[in-house]
Structure 1
Amino acid sequence: MAALAEIQTLLGEPRFNWSDPAPWIELEQELGIEFPADFREIVDAYGSIEINGQLYLEHPAGHLLHNLGKTIRDDLDLWREEDMAEFLPSPVGANPGELMPVATATTGEAVFLCVPDTPSSPWRVVVQEFDSPAWTLYEMTFSEWLLAYLEGRDVTLCSRNLAPDGPFWEFLP
């Protein structure tokens, strides 16, 4: 995908390069969802990482501390609580129009993929600011959103002050 090449240009060469689909298949069967190819490709390339000291991405083959499946299950439970659901534009889950939590930030944001209403509809990104009731829908794929973030554009998370010398990443411990 062209977006991964652009992301690599900004973020640097990935060192995880996962190729076994088994963890994804298991997680997708459990959740009843098939993650978008661009999201899987990025996470397979980089693994469980922290970008710019801010944004956490996790892989389903990661260990218990940083495992995408565990994080999603925990986040689904959190966002299904009655007092939390009001902070999102739609319910969390794997059904069309629902939001699947896929990333978090040290600055208090949660990143969701909006499950398409139809198989031919595009995936979109919703970012919720945990310290307020504000959320923003981005009419872009995950890779487009991540690329915008890495370029320093305002996609709710802003990296300019956290990465003044350019984007960087490190594996999560």
Structure 2
Amino acid sequence: MTDYLRAVIDMIGPSDDRCADAVAWLRLESELGRSLPADYKSIADMYGACQINHHLYLDRPTDGWRDLGTWMRRTSQLWSQEEVVRQGVEPHLDPRVICGLPTITFGTAQGLIPLAGTDQGHLIFLAPQVHEVPDGIAVLNRELEWTGYALPFAEWLYRYLTGEEMCGWNSAVFYPGPVHREHLPTGPGQQTRVVHGPPRGM
């Protein structure tokens, strides 16, 4: 059985900016009313705040300008004001069906929690369940269509980086060669740093 957390780390490469702040995570989880997946926290600690392979943004708590908790709150507040279920939507695109929820809320223990986003307009959420599998990934794409992945975050990210369609239909983005990381400024005087992962034969 594949250890997808290990596979992601091996693919992206080591980080010289790892920051594990257990207190910050506990504070954020207390605010959310639930724990966040361990694989997600490990990946965020190792690589946030950065943009991975030109599109996917990943942050972590206490990262100054790019604090994960602040982004989660703002994103949840924004989407709480939007109509997220289209009239007459087909069941396989209805987030209530995908996540087994009577109503969709954001940033709550029994709702959808934003984990990451892309510059293509995709938002990646943690759902209490996806297709009856606990702690799955629900994605809202730029066409405001929902897709569910009954996978842990590390496996979702691994498949995303290997070019599978992980943000809905026709969403695959693949860059051959080493994974490209841009570590983003989180405070005054900092600059973007570009790092490449190890060769991956792709």
Question: What TM-score comes out, normalization by structure 1 length?
Answer: 0.86
Q: Which has the larger radius of gyration?
A: 2
Q: How far apart are residue 165 of structure 1 and its match? A: 2.8
Superposed, which structure 2 residues align to 1:24-43 within 5 Å? Answer: 24-43=25-44
- CA contact 1:31–1:94 (8 Å) conserved in 2: yes
Q: Which residue of 2 aligns with 1:77?
A: 77
Gaps of 5+ in 1: none
Q: Which residue of 1 aligns with 2:180?
A: 168
CA distance in 2, matches of 1:158, 1:12: 22
Which among 162, 166, 177 is matched to residue 155 of structure 1? 166
- Per-residue CA deviations over 1:104-125 (Å, capped at 9, x if unaligned) read 10011001010249xxx63100
CA distance in 1, matches of 2:59, 2:75: 13
Q: Which residue identity is paired with 2:173?
A: S
Gaps of 5+ in 2: 87-93, 96-103, 186-202
Q: Aligned pair in 2 of structure 1 residues 14, 4: CA closer, same or farther (>3 Å)?
A: farther
Q: Could you say what the CA RMSD is over the residues aligned between the two structures, in angstroms?
A: 2.0
Q: How far apart are residue 167 of structure 1 and its match? A: 2.1
Question: What TM-score comes out, normalization by structure 2 length?
Answer: 0.74
Taking only the aligned residue pairs, the percentage that are identical comes to 31
Q: Which residue of 2 aligns with 1:6?
A: 7
Q: Which residue of 2 aligns with 1:129?
A: 141
Q: Aligned pair in 2 of structure 1 residues 15, 84: CA closer, same or farther (>3 Å)?
A: farther
Which among 133, 149, 156 is matched to residue 138 of structure 1? 149
- The count of aligned residue pairs is 164
